[in-house]
Chain A
């Protein structure tokens, strides 16, 4: 029953979206015989606009300290590659760097320019298109549509909210670690019939039933799990990835550091660090070796610090790559420089590459998606160019 509904829903959606049903790998029963490979991919959306210049600090650039008189204080060293240094709040990730399991891609952006809105910026980041079109869903879902043998549990969006990067025609699991649905069998059947007349409710209900352990007390109040939310998500993600799950997406908030950035960024960095280290610990060495974690944010921030020890919305940002599968210990990307004439609109870090290009290479290496699908369907407008060799 569960499978049937999901399948029908997929069919309805893909027809509504005008996709060719015959061409859809989800439509052919043959896909059941295939498996999506062994590589794991974790996409972490850092909401609020991560200040790339503060996370991966360009100590080698003569204009860095001039633009950031207070934010550049502390840890006055270029400890990554002689030019860049890592923000001290990420110190716990340095063992990964030293082992070659951590890399950065600097001065990248989505195609979003000028208005610097979080909300439009995130729509474009998660939609992956040149102009946002909600009907085409998120890029990670489009990628899963290309993965042979992908099932609902192949992709997991985790958290209290919906991860839009994963929304779309391919069936994926949306869930939260502390979610649970436990109903007595007869009530469950009644509820199913009540939901059946409204397809959107029926789909959500069916998935909730499928993803619940169903072991809870039917009359208990819904309650939150103990512990910190981002750690619980990482732990739950790892549990799924040790099984059939290959792709996980979740978000971390708190990167919009207009004021008192030393405090705010340290807090956000600690959450990201804990999430990555929890994943590594819980996945175990065998799965970790096949894992790529990639972070991205809707934009970077102004090169100059503002009047309140913070930074305002900018353009060029950075991505973080971590995992046993990453060819790390590198800061990738073309550094544009921080002199005023080198900035985007004399204000922001100039993007020298598209976030989607790096992401496309990650998708190609982890999920084996071919170049033409990447350039045409998943990230239209992107040219893959030469292989940056991101992964081992």
Chain B
């Protein structure tokens, strides 16, 4: 099968839009990634360095609380801390609004899809304090700028990012032979990040590594750390003296250096098992839960040939005929479902920017949770499931249908004619049954709801 502009938007983009034209060629979709990031410019989200100042403030408050001489002062500081958290929470909801508007209004849909794909591949979450709200700032800094560069650059940016270091407990992993361990005999390794880097981020769980490699990589990683006022730091005093042997190769010497960590990450990124793992994951995500083996092979080969240059890896994916089978396949995950509906409705930015965070919660964040995808809160570092079965649960479908029947009229009071909306949302992908039922619907709300709940719209 061959490229089709509508399928490009539906399967590889953010869905059809009545405002933005679909891509004209597969090549243009990749070329767009090398151009300016127009959606990020139009709908800015706080970057991590700015976000860090919130962590600095919080740290200062925490210190003041510990040192507070009187209960009254302590109570006052506690109130300040709570207010700070509340403000960050409210602002993080406005960042969600910006992320939604990027999907709704971008002319570069493939870019948004890739940002979500890689943010999920490198799932990281805040666990305490203001850090809880750091998800989008992390994406802005570690993921978004690197989606078309080499995989190893993306890998290094994500794995050494403060949010990842925090999420997978790397900051508390201390080399048993390090300077710190000499003073604190209780200090020691924490394997969490090292294991997930091999299992999830690079080689894949079927890859050629063993528990001993996890242990050695954990020793190598001991220097990785962060502090709120600087971001990433290399903690020489926490680093385990080398050398360490990972997958049969020796890294570092008696004096541990950050360069050793970069070197092992680059080697892991270039490993053939990583090429296979990344290629398969891309095909499963974008094409089908049962990925055509030839397509995976084609994408993996390009990965190996180009040293994991992601723009070229995407070209391999998009140039292959098996990427363009006309039957819609994967079920959209909840955010993609809701956001592509907003795009089809051409939701105006005024309905999102400047509205109270409570409304955004009612309209979007609450329903996403009921659909099974609480925003940026997957249960573990493996991110969201790719399996359609997970999104086809009766409880999840009930929430989607409830949203499809109630949200559009609230979001666009001058609700579009469902007959027009049908073509706007689905282009050539309207089934005969759907057209008949939408044309027969009693109200605009019903008609638009039927379009959005249909399998035609839920698949891509």
Contact = CB atoms under 8 A, between A and B. Distances in A.
B391 to A, nearest CB: 9
Given A116-B211, A200-B392, A307-B172, A47 B454 contact: no
8 contacts: A115-B205, A179-B399, A183-B405, A191-B401, A193-B437, A200-B389, A224-B370, A258-B190
A134 B441 CA distance: 40
Interface of A: 47-48, 69-70, 114-120, 160-162, 167, 173-176, 178-184, 186-187, 190-191, 193-198, 200-201, 203-205, 207-208, 211-212, 218-224, 253, 256, 258-259, 306-308, 310, 312-313, 345, 347
Contacts of B370: 160, 176, 178-179, 222-224
Interface stretch (B130-138, B191-199, B342-350): B191-199
Interface residues of B, number: 67
A390 to B, nearest CB: 30
A190 B406 CA distance: 17
B394 A310 contact: no
B189 A222 contact: no
A162 B188 contact: no
A208 B372 contact: no
Nearest to A304: B188
A115 B390 contact: no
A200 B403 CA distance: 20
A221 B398 contact: no
B397 interface: yes
By Cβ-Cβ distance, the 3 closest A-B pairs, closest first, are: A307-B188, A308-B172, A198-B455
User: Which of B195, B397, B446 has most chain A Cβ within 10 Å?
Assistant: B397
A262 B407 CA distance: 43
Given A116-B195, A178-B370, A307-B190, A222 B398 contact: yes
B398 A224 contact: no
Nearest to B189: A307
Interface in B418-460: 431, 433-434, 437, 440-442, 445-446, 449-450, 453-455, 458-459
Nearest to A198: B455
Contact of A117 (B173, B205, B441, B442): B205
A201 B366 CA distance: 23
A239 to B, nearest CB: 16
B453 A194 contact: yes
Interface of A is mostly: loop
Contacts of B382: 118-119
A216 B28 CA distance: 47
A204 B402 contact: no
Nearest to B374: A160
Given A193-B437, A222-B370, A308 B402 contact: no
A110 B192 CA distance: 21
B369 interface: yes
B453 to A, nearest CB: 6
B388 interface: yes
Given A191-B450, A307-B173, A221 B395 contact: no
B174 interface: yes
A48 B186 contact: no
B449 A310 contact: no
Contact of B393 (A47, A174, A256): A174
B367 A201 contact: no
B449 A187 contact: yes
A190 B446 contact: yes
Contacts of A253: 379
A313 B195 CA distance: 9
Contact of B402 (A47, A120, A181): A181
Contacts of A259: 169, 172, 190, 192
B84 interface: no
A178 B405 CA distance: 17
A224 B366 CA distance: 7
